[in-house]
A and B are shown apart, each in its own frame.
Chain A
C-alpha cells in the first residue's frame, strides 16, 4: 500500500469520543462543531452506579452516557448518517480500514488502551471504549489522531490490529465509524437539536426508573460510601473512593465529572438561543463541577491515609447528597426552560 496522508486537522479534546466525533464533522465541513457542542448535543452528561459489577476491582461508576451514544445521538439530531461497521474477521477489518484511507476518508476507530503503545503505562488498563481517528498510512505505520494526545501519533500495523481487536467487556471487534453525506447544518437545526438534547439529558438525569441512574444514582453511591469503611476495611474503602475520583477527574472528563464540559455547552448554546437562563444554568453547572472537585479533594484525604473515621466517610456521602440535590434542581430548571 502506498503512503497516504489525508489532510486531517488534529484536535485535542478532553474526551476521546467527543474529539473523534467533532473532528470528523469538522473535516466534513461542519466547522462550528466544538467539543462542548458535541457533548451537549449527544446528551453525554450522565451518572450511573452499577451495583454488584466491579471494574478494575472497584465500583462501576460512570459520569457519562454509554460509549458511542454521544456521536449517535448528536448526529441523529443533525440529520447526519454515521456508518458503523464491526468485523468478525481481522483481515476484513484491516482491508476495510485501508480501503477507507485509499478513498481519502479519515475514520474513527474504537480501540482498547491496554496495548496502546503511546499511552503512559500507568493508564493502560483493559478499557475497550477508547476512540481515535486514523487519517493515513506512511511507511507501514498508521497515522493516528488521538484526541487526548497533544500531537498526532503512529501505530504499527500489528499494534493497530491488537488495539482494534482487544477482548473483554466492550470489545471493539474492529469497530470503524464515519459520517456519510454530510450536508450543511442550518442554525435552526442546531437550535432544535439543543432543545431536544437538553430535554433528553434532563430526562436521563431525573426520570430513569430505579435508583442507580442520574441524580438518584449519586445518592445511591453516597449510601454505599457510608457502609464502605465497616464493610470493606479502610484499605479497600480507600481504593473504592480513589476509583470514584479517577472516573470523575481522570483524563477524558474535562474535570468535575464532565460537569464543566456541560457548563461550557450551555454557554455555547446561548450563542444559538439567546435565553439568559442558559447562562445562569451554565453557572450552576460550573458550581456543581467545583463541588465535585471539592468532593474529590475530600475523598483524597481518606485514601491518602490522613483521615479514616466513619465521620469522614459520612462527610463524603453528605457532599454527594448535596451535589445530587443541586443537580436535581439544575436539571429540573433545564427541563422547564423555554428554548423557542
Chain B
C-alpha cells in the first residue's frame, strides 16, 4: 500500500485513536501513516454489532417466553460465550448450560447467583428480576 492510498473513512476510532498503517512513501521506502478507519472493515465491525444486538434481542425474547433463564440473556448482552462465562464464574460449561433452564435457575442459591452477578457486573436482584 502506498502512503497516498491510506483510507481515511471515519469509523469508531474517531476521537479515540488512529490506526498505524505500514505504507510505502514516494521513494518506495517503508514508513507509517495514521488512518481514521477503512470503510471495508468498518462495515465488518458494524455487521458484527448488528448481529450481537439481534442475539441480545432474541435472548430477551427467550427469557420472556420462559425458555431461557436471565443468565443466557446477560451472557449475550455482555458479549460472552460459554468459555468466557465459565472463566468468570468458575462453573463448568455444562453446568452453565443447565443454569440456562428457567426451572434450574429458580433453584440456584445466593452464592451461585452472586458468581453470575459478579461476572456480569450487575446485582443479584438485577439478575433475578430480569424477565425479558
Contact = CB atoms under 8 A, between A and B. Distances in A.
Contacts of B13: 120, 251
Interface residues of B, number: 38
Contacts of A169: 83-84, 87
Interface in A241-289: 241-243, 245-246, 249-251, 254-256, 260-261, 263-264, 267-268, 282, 286, 289
A167 interface: yes
B18 A150 contact: yes
Contacts of B44: 241-243, 245-246, 300, 303
Given A14-B32, A148-B17, A149-B17, A122 B45 contact: yes
Interface string B43-54: 111011101000
Interface in B2-27: 12-13, 16-24
Interface residues of A, number: 54
B20 A13 contact: yes
Interface in B39-68: 39-41, 43-45, 47-49, 51, 55
11 contacts: A54-B81, A114-B79, A123-B45, A149-B17, A150-B18, A168-B83, A169-B87, A171-B87, A242-B44, A245-B40, A290-B1
B30 interface: yes
Contacts of A290: 1
A144 B59 CA distance: 37
A56 interface: yes
A167 B87 contact: yes
Given A57-B51, A242-B47, A304-B43, A254 B30 contact: no
Nearest to B6: A255
Contacts of B87: 167-169, 171
Given A249-B38, A300-B43, A267 B49 contact: no
A26 to B, nearest CB: 16
Contact of A300 (B32, B40, B49, B84): B40
A36 B12 contact: no
Contacts of B34: 150
A118 B17 CA distance: 10
A32 interface: no
Given A148-B17, A251-B19, A296 B24 contact: no
B40 A296 contact: yes
Contacts of B83: 168-169
A250 B41 CA distance: 7
B48 A242 contact: yes
B47 A303 contact: yes
B48 A243 contact: yes
- Report, nearest first, the 6 A-B pairs whose CB atoms are least far apart: A167-B87, A242-B44, A168-B84, A168-B87, A260-B22, A122-B12
A126 B84 contact: yes
A226 interface: no
A249 B41 contact: yes
A124 B45 CA distance: 11
A50 interface: no
Contacts of B119: 167
Interface in A212-265: 238-239, 241-243, 245-246, 249-251, 254-256, 260-261, 263-264
